[in-house]
Structure 1
Amino acid sequence: MRKLLTVCLGNYCRSPLAQAALTRRGGAAVTVRSAGLIGKWQDQPANPAMINAARRLGLDLTHHRGHQITLEDLDWADDILAMDAAVLHTLHAIDGARNIHKARLYLPGRDVPDPMSQDENTFNDCAVTIEAGTALHLAQRRP
């Protein structure tokens, strides 16, 4: 079973959505976790606007609770998927060379824009972008 870790700044918007989308697409072939670089939303639900955007895609984020990244999370993952270049840079700084070979951007060559403090349409667009990106990590839908 492949282990994927999605990481954004706070584990409040983007990485929880990516976790849900990758879990749905990957089925039993993957285990997906998400985490944030900062602990501001530790143990808190996902952003309400992202919960709504997820619902529109048939995903449920109501059970999500924020988690601040640990070195154990990085060691656990087969692939570490950063939502933007700043997150990827910070992951490299946190972990040094130990897991650098496993970490990359969720969307090759570009950031998933952070929708925080934006309108509902921005959250919806972000969710669609993340959901579409699952195909880059999981070639086919599993039952």
Structure 2
Amino acid sequence: MSIAIAVAALALARRGAVELEVRSAGLIGKWEGEPNESMIAAARRLGLDLTAHRGQQITLDMLSWADSVLAMDAAVLETLRAICGEANERKLGPYLGDRELPDPMGKDQEAFHACAVLIEAGTALHVGQQ
């Protein structure tokens, strides 16, 4: 779901304060360095440009750098808790509160669009209205 996280990073940055720096990374490096054309198209429908985005795997350095780490679903959150260490655990939280983001991989373009819409709506949970 690294590509979903990239949409979240752009959507949060677009809604956030100028000084907000948002990064994205996934748990596994399966798509590291690769674009995802389906999510690029879904993001474009929302006015977000993912054409330069390439997947990357999360590192302990990234976890240490971040003030907050948002997971797209409970399984990812649990995995992050297992790898992040006690010093970083307080930074972890769910992106959509008590909802899980459905993984669009392997599905049609409308599933990617629905995922992107949920991600964009979820920004309101983390960054105030501008």
1:1-143 alignment runs, 5 A limit? 8=1, 11=2, 13-45=3-35, 47-141=36-130
CA distance in 2, matches of 1:90, 1:51: 26
The one-letter code sitting in structure 1 at the alignment partner of 2:14 is R
Give me the TM-score of the superposition, normalised by structure 2.
0.96
- Divergent runs of 4+, >6 A: none
Give me the TM-score of the superposition, normalised by structure 1.
0.87
Q: Deviation of residue 109 (structure 1)?
A: 1.1
Give structure 2 stretches of 5+ with no counterpart: none
Q: Which has the higher strand share?
A: 1
The one-letter code sitting in structure 2 at the alignment partner of 1:78 is D
Q: Deviation of residue 132 (structure 1)?
A: 0.6
Q: Deviation of residue 98 (structure 1)?
A: 1.9
Q: Deviation of residue 96 (structure 1)?
A: 2.7
How many residues align structurally?
A: 130
CA distance in 1, matches of 2:98, 2:19: 26
Q: Deviation of residue 27 (structure 1)?
A: 4.3
CA distance in 2, matches of 1:131, 1:92: 25
Q: Deviation of residue 29 (structure 1)?
A: 3.0
- Residue 4 of structure 1: aligned partner: none
Question: Residues 18-63 of structure 1: CA distance to partner in whole angstroms, max 9, x if unpaired?
Answer: 0111111114131000001001111112x11110010000000000
Question: Residues 80-123 of structure 1: CA distance to partner in whole angstroms, max 9, x if unpaired?
Answer: 00000010000001113221111011011121111111111111
